[in-house]
Amino acid sequence: MNILILGSGGREHTFAWKIAQSPLCDQLFVAPGNAGTSTVATNVEIDVLEFEKIAAFCLSHQIDIVLVGPEVPLVAGIVDFFESNTLLSSIAIIGPNKQGAQLEGSKDFSKQFMNKYGIPTASSRTFDFTQLEEGIAYLETHPTPIVLKADGLAAGKGVIITSSVEEAKATLTEMLAEKKFGEASAKVVVEQFLDGIELSVFTLSDGENYLLLPEAKDYKRIGEGDTGLNTGGMGAVSPVPFADESFMQKVTEQIILPTINGLKAENINYVGFIFFGLINVGGNPYVIEYNARMGDPETEVVIPRIENDFVEILKAVAHKQLDKITISTTAQSATTLMLVAGGYPGEYNKGDEILGLDNISKDTLVFHAGTKKEAHKTFTNGGRVMALTSLGNNISDALQKSNRAAELIQWKNKYYRRDIGKDVLRFEKIEAEKEQ
Ligand code: AMP
Ligand code: GLY
């Protein structure tokens, strides 16, 4: 089987690493990929939005499966593009179509969907430019903190949380009247602030059946102690010690099943991953957001815990036979630390040489994100540079290995959070005590 992965981050390197282990995989390509993907697959210089070029490549290289990593091509309709071209119809493209991707592409769509199907989420109202005055009046009576979300994709920057009604009013005006995020903020969702602890839950659907993948916890803020600006994610752990059986049962009954059934009721043939960004409020799960893809860096801890042949799973998705797959997950814990370029998520440098990669022990998997190879040397090429994943008997054990590796890799102004996973260790201790 020939497989093409679209994307260039740590998520795609992890997919490539896993797929390359399968005897069912003949040739593996990643477009555009990074220095890490080039060690397990062939990189192809095509951007994820160059649909015509992707199609031509698939035909000339007899690609059987296309696995779409990021949301941008999904929201732009890559699946619809493949499905509307008869020449491409024998290629299985794994990801939702444009309509399904609206779960991520439009916060207003996802809110309406959740309300229609009784899925627990923060209460909200959506405003467009014509309703600016109404929105301002609404904010004046809204309890604080207030959450404002640009409706469309805004590269993780479209959510503002503020305790000041004045700031909320100014933000709403900036988004709607001054189009702070362009078309993405043509509509703004104003919602209730939920106070709790977040986690990410993932399913993979074939349109009919779905698999529940291991859950993970991501650390979004740049600073230790969850402070500072939001990033794409600074590290992750899996499993999540507080996501016990009874909590996960609530997640399945109150969130996953109504979502999958709701998509069917809307006649959306949803093939691909659903990332449920959840928050645990007093033991009850609420949806903060849906994403139409896997998380990054969550993938870097979720995929290494899956013991199945991943190509067998992808084949089952393509043939609508996921009901024939039983997912097997290692009992080991996985942790990943994201090494980033100093300054990220603000201004940062690119092109710094990365040293020490050869010193990393076999205990740690190095998943590249923003890296580039030139003349056998590896250079930084993005804000999030690489994720260091380790497996261990528990989270502290895995963290020790990832932290050791993080010290060994060097470049000018490398930064990483040293407190990833520490907040959930107390839950792990409680679990261990219960078992004794
Ligand atoms: P989103 O892009 O919707 O995931 O929002 C980014 C981050 O903002 C989330 O990961 C949360 O940390 C936070 N957030 C979003 N919505 C809420 C909410 N209703 N209550 C509390 N925090 C939220
Ligand atoms: N780590 C969060 C995301 O992938 O959106």
156 Cα nearest atom in ligand 2: 5
Report how far apart, in Å, the C-alpha atoms of 221 and of each of 108, 240, 251, 369 are. Answer: 25, 18, 25, 18
Ligand nearest to the CA of 288: 1
Q: Please list every protein residue whose CB sits less than 6 Å from any atom of ligand 2.
A: 218, 232-233, 291, 295-296, 298
297 Cα nearest atom in ligand 2: 1
| pLDDT exceeds cutoff 70 at 210 | yes
Please tell me the predicted confidence (pLDDT) of residue 432.
67
Please tell me the predicted confidence (pLDDT) of residue 299.
98
154 lines ligand 1 (CB under 6 A): no
Which residue's C-alpha comes closest to atom 6 of ligand 1? 159
12 lines ligand 1 (CB under 6 A): no
291 Cα nearest atom in ligand 2: 5
Average pLDDT over residues 378-404: 97
Which residue's C-alpha comes closest to atom 9 of ligand 1? 288
Give the pLDDT band (50/70/90) at residue 435: low
Which residue among 288, 293, 423 has the greatest number of ligand 1 atoms within 8 angstroms of its CB, and so is best to mutate? 288
Distance between CA atoms of residues 412 and 389, nearest Å: 22
| pLDDT exceeds cutoff 70 at 342 | yes
**Max Cα–Cα distance, the chain, nearest Å:** 61
289 lines ligand 1 (CB under 6 A): yes
Asked if 104 and 289 touch (Cβ cutoff 8 Å), the reply is yes
Ligand nearest to the CA of 291: 2
Which residue among 11, 238, 275 has the greatest number of ligand 2 atoms within 8 angstroms of its CB, and so is best to mutate? 275
72 lines ligand 1 (CB under 6 A): no
Which is higher by pLDDT, 49 or 182?
49
294 Cα nearest atom in ligand 2: 4
| pLDDT exceeds cutoff 90 at 291 | yes
Give the pLDDT band (50/70/90) at residue 40: very high
Q: Which residues pair with 160 in a beta bridge?
A: 148
Residues of 157-182 as b/e, b for ≥16 C-beta within 10 angstroms?
Answer: ebbbbbeebebbbebbebbbeeebbe
Which is higher by pLDDT, 72 or 429?
72
| pLDDT exceeds cutoff 70 at 319 | yes
124 Cα nearest atom in ligand 1: 19
Please tell me the predicted confidence (pLDDT) of residue 430.
66
Which residue's C-alpha comes closest to atom 4 of ligand 2? 295
pLDDT tens digits, residue range 150-198? 999 887 778 889 999 999 999 999 888 888 887 888 899 999 999 999 9
| pLDDT exceeds cutoff 90 at 338 | yes
Give the pLDDT band (50/70/90) at residue 397: very high
Q: Tell how far the Cα of 157 is from the centroid of ligand 2, in angstroms.
A: 12
Please tell me the predicted confidence (pLDDT) of residue 431.
66
Please tell me the predicted confidence (pLDDT) of residue 236.
98
122 lines ligand 1 (CB under 6 A): yes
| pLDDT exceeds cutoff 80 at 355 | yes
54 lines ligand 1 (CB under 6 A): no
Pair type for strands 187-192 and 197-206: unpaired
In the chain, the domains with their CATH numbers are 2-95 (3.40.50.20), 123-192 (3.30.1490.20), 197-435 (3.30.470.20)
For 8, residues 6+ apart whose C-beta sits below 8 A from its C-beta are: 30, 32, 33, 34, 37, 48
Please tell me the predicted confidence (pLDDT) of residue 81.
97
Q: Tell how far the Cα of 159 is from the centroid of ligand 1, in angstroms.
A: 7
pLDDT tens digits, residue range 86-115? 999 899 999 999 999 999 999 999 999 999
Q: Tell how far the Cα of 296 is from the centroid of ligand 2, in angstroms.
A: 5
184 lines ligand 1 (CB under 6 A): no
Using a cut of 0.85, tell me whether the model's pTM lies above it.
yes
Average pLDDT over residues 367-374: 95
| Secondary structure class of 317 (helix, strand, coil) | helix
Please tell me the predicted confidence (pLDDT) of residue 181.
84
Q: Tell how far the Cα of 320 is from the centroid of ligand 1, in angstroms.
A: 33
Residues of 297-315 as b/e, b for ≥16 C-beta within 10 angstroms?
Answer: bbbbbbbbbbebbbbebbb
Ligand nearest to the CA of 153: 1
Q: Tell how far the Cα of 357 is from the centroid of ligand 2, in angstroms.
A: 25
Which residue among 11, 107, 291 has the greatest number of ligand 2 atoms within 8 angstroms of its CB, and so is best to mutate? 291
| Average pLDDT taken over every residue of the chain | 94
